[in-house]
Each structure stands twice: as structure tokens, then as C-alpha cells.
Chain A
């Protein structure tokens, strides 16, 4: 009687202890997640806040999130300064690069995935091996090539060299590999040419994969800074990262309101695209890292 009672009491204690412990664990987990989430969101908030702040109040002590003197003047100024032109350049480069790359990469991926031709494996191994060449090695000679081609200060160097790239072909090969051969054979029997099969059968089926890869390409080209820095000269051709760099002064002395205005212009479009296509985006990123 006594023993069973004390046992019950003991069990009650352990259950309580477990509850307290799991509550503690939950507090720690949520605490960590929330702390990191705030750290991640803070720069976005601060960017937005500063873009409305008069220059004199940006470094106010203590820092304020909101001020009575907030205005759109910064945006008015950067629009006068040509930010919309720069936005258009950025979009043009990112979009053209994505479209051209998607075409060549899916074409190459299709070649590797669905044909058993002599030399296929060594050729593919070679393609993968080229990925270890760092950009620093090819950067200077490629600049010289562009100089000779008279492509300096044009958008061509930002679109052409990376168009048929190893990563994209690797990615599309994986994706096209999952398409059944029967579909392709059926089209072939119906008299469809090889290129016709690619355009009419492969590309439509690959739409999700093309979206994933296209998003990665678009993001990469949109945020590219080194390429435009090397190749673009006249300010009316500048893309947004270059535009920002050109506006900046020595650390602490930049026109921060305007600079943050341009930062907002450069960040918001991609954030919107990311929020809409989040699933495709993460699929694209993980496909290269996780092998089946």
C-alpha cells in the first residue's frame, strides 16, 4: 500500500520532471531559432529604415527605427541619378543570361542523359573536372580575349562565357535522366527529329527543373559584381551592384540614405521572386549537393 503510493508519487514526479525538461528544451529551441531569425531579418529592416532617413539622423544615438522626418527624398534622388536605367540593365543581363544558359545546358544535359555514344563517360568526367579551375586563373586572359573581341563595355562578356556551363549541364542531365525512354522512342517512331524531340518533348517535361536552374542562374547574374566590374565602363551600362559601388564613399562617409535606397531596389525583386518560387529554389540548390 505504502510502496505503491510512493511509486505513484515517484512516477508523478518523473512525468512532471519530463514536462519541465521538454518545456525547457522547447524554450531553448525557440530561443535559438528566433535569435537567428532576428539576426537574419535585421539587415533588411535596417536597409529599409535607412533609405527613408535624413542623412543627419542615420547615425543618431541611440539609433531609431522610425523618425518624424522620414521621406522618399532618397528615392527621388536615386531615380534622378539613373537607378531605373541600372535596374533595367541588371534585369536585361540576368534575364538574357538565364534564357541562353537554360537552352544550352538543357541541350547538353539531354545529350548526356539520353544517348549512349562512344566517349560519353570520359567526356562527362572531363566536364565535371573543369569545375575545379578557379575563376581567378581565367579572369585575366578572358579579359584580354574580350578586349580583342572589342566586347569591353558591352553585355556580351556577362552572357556568353558562362552560357554553356558545367554545373547547368550536370543539373539538367540528372533531371532529364528521370524521363522515360519510351516517350522519346515513341516520338522518334512518329518521325520526330532529334532536335524536335528536344524542343517538343524534353523541354516541356523539364519545366520544373528549368525553373529551378533558371532561378539560380538569374540570381547569380543579378548579384554578379566581379564580371560587371571588369567589363563595364560607362555608367549608363552599370548594373545595380556596380551602381552601388560607384555611389559609395570611404567607410562611414557614404551617402547612406541613397545607398540603402539602391540596396532596397536591388534586393526586393529577388526577395519577391524567392518568396513565390521558394520550393523550386531550394530544389535547385539541393540537387547539386545531394546525390541519390
Chain B
């Protein structure tokens, strides 16, 4: 007791001394916290407040209690839950293929088996810097049922044309094509960088010990790349609910809401329908879902880190 009493003022003074000594550091990092307070923390609180109100974006707000939430979980949530379902469907449609392809491409390019390594990497990565609005319109053009490039290719090899943007499932396939086009290079580059941190001797030793290159790929490369793969999958999880530009330029969310993503849905509820309260309730529900999903992914796939 006595020791604590004599200690605490001096440590407090020490702490104060440290703070004063490092005052510049606090000044340097403060812009982030000030900006977060205004454009992060305040909106997060205000969003809760809004979700308990009825508001058209102008005029007075009307307190409605939990009505926005009961509406969302009851009769009025159809579009929102459809958008969540779409996010999950899209995730399972493109993430496994894209991740696997990115991994295979990265392994091929890393193996130095092929020439023109740089040229291939540049071409595969270039879509990443492209505006997805521009790319979305271009895909829309190429995917036209009559006179579109893709159907022309199909006809050339003797297959019938496909209603790329008119049918529920084909529209989803089209959206996935655009997403893979835009994001494959990004994922490949990340995995390439991950591969370069794995010592080459490791796989070489396995090959000398008689493992086939396919075995080495599955038993050495993939386990060691696990953190990078996890990173890319988690990004894609949030990405598939938060798709916006791709949807707006290619499908507009249709047909019959088949490609409506959650961000597009929330945006529309707020800025097209002027239902700020309902939109906020949706945004919060979405936040909770994403949060749980990310945690689960960390728990199941990131256990060893």
C-alpha cells in the first residue's frame, strides 16, 4: 500500500513526461483520429439513431422504435435478403474459381518454366487498373444476345447463343466473368508475392525425394501460402456483398434482382427511395453479418496464425 502510494505519483509524472516528450507523435497521428471522429465514429452513431427513425432525408425525423428492423425481418425485407443471398451465391460462383486460377497462374509464372513472364503478368494484371464502369459497359456490349462477341464465338464453335444478361443465372455468370476479369490479376500478383517468400529449395527438395509436382503443389505450396489465400478470400467475401460499380454498369441489379448486391440495395433504398431509416437498419444488419462472417473465416482458416 505504502509503496503503491509513493510509486503512483512518480510514475504518473513519468507518464506525463513521456507524453510531453512525444507530443509531436500525437500531433502527427491526430489527423486520422480527428477525421475518424467526424467521418467514422459520428456516422456509426448517427446510423443507429437513423435506424430508429423514419426520415426522407429532408424535413423532420419521426421516431419509430424498432419498426425499421421488424419491417426488415418481416414483410419488407425481401429485396434486402435477396441481396444477401445473391452475395453468397456470387461468392461461391467466382471466389473458388478465381482463387484457384490465381494460384495456378502464380505458380506457373513463378516456376520460370515459361518465357515472356513479364508480358503475361502485365496483360493479366492490366484490368485491375481499369474503371469497372468502363469495363462493365464493354462487357455489356460483348454479352449482347444478338450481335455480341461472346455469342458469336459460341456460334463459331457450333454452340447456340446464350441470353447472357436476360436470364437470372446467366446474368450472374456474366457478372462473375466481369469480376474475374477485373480481379484475377490482383489476386495473382498477391499470390506471386507470397510464393516469392517460400524458399525454392523446399519444393526442390520434395521433388528430389520423389514427390510429383502436383503433390508438391498441394502439400507444400498451398499450406505455406495459407495466410495469403486467407487474405484474398476474406477480401473477396466483403467484396461480393459490396460489389457496386460492376453491377451498376453491367446488369443494374437485374434481371429480377438476381444480381442485386447489398451495397446497391442499400444505396437504392436511401438515394432512390429516400428511406434513410430503413436503409440504415439494413446497413447495420449487413454490418453485423459481415462481422460474424469475417470472424468465422478467421477462426476456421486462420487457426495457426
Contact = CB atoms under 8 A, between A and B. Distances in A.
A116 B25 CA distance: 9
Interface string B280-295: 1001101100110010
Contacts of A42: 142, 149
A142 B190 contact: no
Given A46-B138, A139-B267, A289-B231, A274 B126 contact: yes
A24 interface: no
A30 B116 CA distance: 10
B228 A290 contact: yes
Contacts of B35: 160-161, 163-164
A125 interface: no
A248 to B, nearest CB: 7
A190 to B, nearest CB: 17
Interface in A255-292: 256, 259-260, 262-263, 266-267, 270-271, 273-275, 278, 281-282, 285-286, 289-291
A226 to B, nearest CB: 5
A59 B19 contact: no
Nearest to A50: B141
Nearest to A149: B38
A136 B263 contact: yes
Interface string A13-51: 000000000000110011011001101111110110010
Interface in B239-263: 242, 244-245, 248-249, 251-252, 262-263
Contact of B108 (A33, A114, A133): A33
A155 B291 CA distance: 32
B289 to A, nearest CB: 10
A130 B39 CA distance: 11
Nearest to B191: A289
A244 B19 contact: no
Contacts of B127: 40, 43
B268 to A, nearest CB: 11
Contacts of A61: 146-147, 152
Contacts of B194: 289-290
A239 to B, nearest CB: 10
A254 interface: yes
Chain B contact residues: helix, strand, loop or mixed? helix
A63 B283 contact: no
Given A138-B47, A260-B141, A275 B122 contact: yes
A136 B133 contact: no
A135 B266 CA distance: 11
B129 interface: yes
Interface in B14-34: 15, 18-19, 22, 24-29, 31-34
B42 interface: yes
Given A59-B146, A134-B287, A137-B284, A286 B248 contact: no
- Size class of the contact patch on chain B: 35 or more
Interface string B202-232: 0000000000000000000000000110011
Contacts of B139: 43
Contact of A62 (B152, B189, B244, B287): B152
A54 B142 CA distance: 16
B179 interface: no
Contact of B29 (A36, A116, A123): A123
Contacts of B101: 36
B43 interface: yes
Contacts of A59: 144, 146-148
Contacts of B104: 32
A222 B131 contact: yes
B124 interface: yes
A160 to B, nearest CB: 8
B283 A30 contact: no
Given A137-B44, A271-B129, 15 more contacts: A46-B149, A61-B146, A61-B147, A61-B152, A112-B25, A133-B287, A137-B43, A144-B57, A145-B39, A194-B24, A240-B131, A241-B245, A263-B137, A266-B133, A270-B131
Among all A-B residue pairs, the 5 with the closest Cβ atoms: A59-B147, A111-B28, A141-B43, A115-B25, A117-B22
